[in-house]
């Protein structure tokens, strides 16, 4: 049965193998992730950095679990901490000539660009005010108003039929503009 040092060394070698052998595949994945499927072009740094940050986070969590397995935390000591720091410095830090180093450099680049990135609103209006653009999709306001009025009409019909159990002939309207509140009494009346 292998001793603890041999097992730790084997796990470290496996981590190195995973990071080195899969490096080109991971970089390829990041490159594909950086393509905006709507435009077919590379994403702007501001639109890509949050995805890259998620990959970096997952890589760090996986690396910690591989180097310092959570099931063995009770038995881990100073030597395990030293091993972790050594592996972190070699494979998980910026300037280490690793995939993680490349990802951290890209994140630093994105962070540097972020303050200079213009955050255009997701809603833009045409000069005449008749068309609204929501995240690049045009909406004609007249059609939108028509949809709203149709929905209100359908809701009124539904309420009259299902809540008040009435037919069209039994419907009435209250002229709300003529309604006055009598503060002296408890009766509301239509104004003169």
CA–CA distance, 93 with 125 (Å, rounded to integer): 46
Task: Please give the pLDDT value at position 192.
Answer: 47
CA–CA distance, 42 with 48 (Å, rounded to integer): 9
CA–CA distance, 95 with 90 (Å, rounded to integer): 9
Task: Please give the pLDDT value at position 185.
Answer: 61
Task: Please give the pLDDT value at position 165.
Answer: 74
The domain ranges of the chain are 4-116, 121-172
Q: Is the pTM of this model over 0.75?
A: no
User: Running along the chain, 192 residues long, what does each successive block of 10 average in pLDDT?
Assistant: 64 66 72 83 81 88 86 87 87 79 84 71 82 84 92 88 76 78 62 49
């Amino acid at each position: 049965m292998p001793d603890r040092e041999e097992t730790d060394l084997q796990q470290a070698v496996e981590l190195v193998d995973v990071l080195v052998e899969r490096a080109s595949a991971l970089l390829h994945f990041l490159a594909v992730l950086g393509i905006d499927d709507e435009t077919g072009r590379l994403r702007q740094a501001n639109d890509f950095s949050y995805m890259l940050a998620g990959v970096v986070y997952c890589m760090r969590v996986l690396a910690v679990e591989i180097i310092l397995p959570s099931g063995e935390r009770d038995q881990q000591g100073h030597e395990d901490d030293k091993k972790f720091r050594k592996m972190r410095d070699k494979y998980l830090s910026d300037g280490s000539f690793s995939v993680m180093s490349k990802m951290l450099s890209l994140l630093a680049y994105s962070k540097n660009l972020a303050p200079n990135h213009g955050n255009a609103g997701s809603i833009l209006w045409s000069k005449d005010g008749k068309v609204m653009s929501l995240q690049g999709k045009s909406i004609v306001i007249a059609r939108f108003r028509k949809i709203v009025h149709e929905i209100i009409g359908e809701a009124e019909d539904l309420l009259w039929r299902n809540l008040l159990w009435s037919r069209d002939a039994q419907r009435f309207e209250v002229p709300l503009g003529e309604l006055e509140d009598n503060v002296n009494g408890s009766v509301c009346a239509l104004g003169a």
